[in-house]
Amino acid sequence: MEQSNKNAAPSRRLCWICRTRTATTREHRIKRSDLTRFYKAKNFAGDARPYHFRGEKISRLQSHDAEAVKYDKNLCEECNSAKSQPFDRAYEQFVDWMLGNEDEIFASHAVDFPSVYGSRDFEVQQLNLFKYFAKCFGCRLDEAQRAVPDDVRALLDQRRFRTGLCITFSIQPAMEVEGESVSLLNSLGTFPLLEFPLWDNEEKILGYSCGQHVSWLAIHFWYCIEPPNELGEIWVADRDRVRLGKSPITSTL
Ligand SMILES: [Zn+2]
DSSP string computed for 44-61:
--GGGSPEEEETTEEEE-
CA of 34 to the centre of ligand 1 (A): 24
Within-domain flag for 73: no
Distance (angstroms) between ligand 1 centre and the Cα of 155 equals 14
CA distances to 2, 9, 21, 72, 210 from 145, rounded to whole Å, are 16, 5, 18, 12, 15
Give dist(CA 143, CA 146) in Å, integer: 7
Tell me the per-residue pLDDT of 155-175, one tens digit each, with 9 for 90 and over.
999 999 999 999 999 998 877
150 CA distance to ligand 1 middle (Å) = 14
- How far is 252 from 176, CA to CA, in rounded Å? 9
pTM of the model: 0.85
Structural domain total, the chain: 1
Q: Tell whether 15 is covered by a domain.
A: no
DSSP string of 106-166? HHH-EEEHHHHH-TTTHHHHHHHHHHHHHHHHHHHHHHTTBPPPHHHHHHTT-SS---SEE
Query: Residue 192: what pLDDT?
Result: 85
Predicted confidence (pLDDT) per residue in 205-241, tens digit: 899 999 998 989 999 999 999 999 999 999 999 999 9
The amino acid present at 115, given as its one-letter code, is S
Domain assignment present for residue 67? The answer is no
In a domain, 4, yes or no: no
Please state, as a whole number, how many other Cβ atoms lie within 10 Å of the Cβ of residue 17: 26
- Transcribe 104-119 into DSSP letters: HHHHH-EEEHHHHH-T
Residue 171 CA to ligand 1 centre (angstroms): 34
Residue 197 belongs to domain spanning? 84-250
pLDDT at 187: 79
